[in-house]
Amino acid sequence: MHPIISAAELRERLDTVHVLDARWSLGRTDGHDQYLAGHIPGAVFVDVERDLTRHGEPHEGRHPLPDDAALAAAARRWGVRQGASVVVYDDDRMLPASRAWWALRRAGLEVRVLDGGWQAWLSIGGEVETGEVVVAPGDIVLGSPGDDGVIDTEAAAGWPDRGTLLDARVAERYRGETEPIDPIAGHVPGAKNLPIGQLLTDDARFRPASDIAAAFDAVGATAGTATAAYCGSGITAAQLALAGAIAGRDVTVYPGSWSAWSNTPGRPVATGAE
């Protein structure tokens, strides 16, 4: 199954899929308000901070994954039923939707991301519904992937020796010229920079699979190379994993990302271009 879906295809299949609205961005708390003001018909709101992360210690990063049982309980609360096809969208360049895709896909759910998100839906004249969508609890049974598809700080440190570790942040943060959030500027030694913006169009859609594959190849993440990704706090890294899936590349995610690395005493920091 292709991991993304166009707005036009979603409109045609709207009565056969379960839609999740994951509007959120760092430092913004009005996602639910925006959802209430207008959303895709039938869409159920997903609280990214509550449902797709958990509170952790500083060395775990800003957005640790929820435990398997908590994620499964959230999916049932969203009304997801066994065998359902799920589509998730947002209004922030598919960042939180990618986190939802990655977390739910790891647990065995069939899920796709709306390419271009809310703005793409509006651009085709998609119907808009207001207010809360209240659903009966679902019966979905998710798997328990545990550590499958994720690495911790220790594994991230050694990853460049066995494959390619990608840093999805903008080049200035990777080079250590600026750091607006975390305590130390720079990157994991040996990591290669692949800013997520290079893989998106100006209207926040994914570039063609061939372009994404070429961008991966250019930084050494070629087909067959063990590839992992990190970002600031684990959200954008999930989008890099989604981009990899579009191009047929398997990407392991370091959920703690730079927020975990920079809060772990003794970890080396690299700066400049590699």
Please tell me which residue in 120, 231, 240, 251 is annotated as part of the active site. 231
CB atoms within 10 A of CB 173: 23
**Residue 200 forms beta bridges with which residues?**
206
Confirm whether 231 is a catalytic residue: yes
Question: What single-letter DSSP state applies at residue 262?
Answer: T
The secondary structure of 105-162 as a DSSP string is HHTT--EEEETTHHHHHHHTT---B-SPPP-----------TTTTB--HHHHHHGGGT
Enter the tokens of residue 245. Answer: 């899936």
Report residue 217: phi and psi, to 5°.
Answer: -60, -40
| Cα–Cα–Cα angle for 186, 188, 192, rounded to 5 degrees | 95
Task: State the Cα–Cα distance between residues 191 and 156, nearest whole angstrom.
Answer: 9
* 3-class secondary structure, 196: helix
Question: What are the residues whose beta carbons fall under 8 Å from the beta carbon of 200, sequence distance 6 or more?
Answer: 93, 94, 206, 207
Quickly count: other Cβ atoms within 10 Å of residue 29's Cβ: 9
**Could you tell me the sign of the dihedral formed by the alpha carbons of 123, 197, 172, 59, in that order?**
positive
Give the residue numbers marked as catalytic. Answer: 231
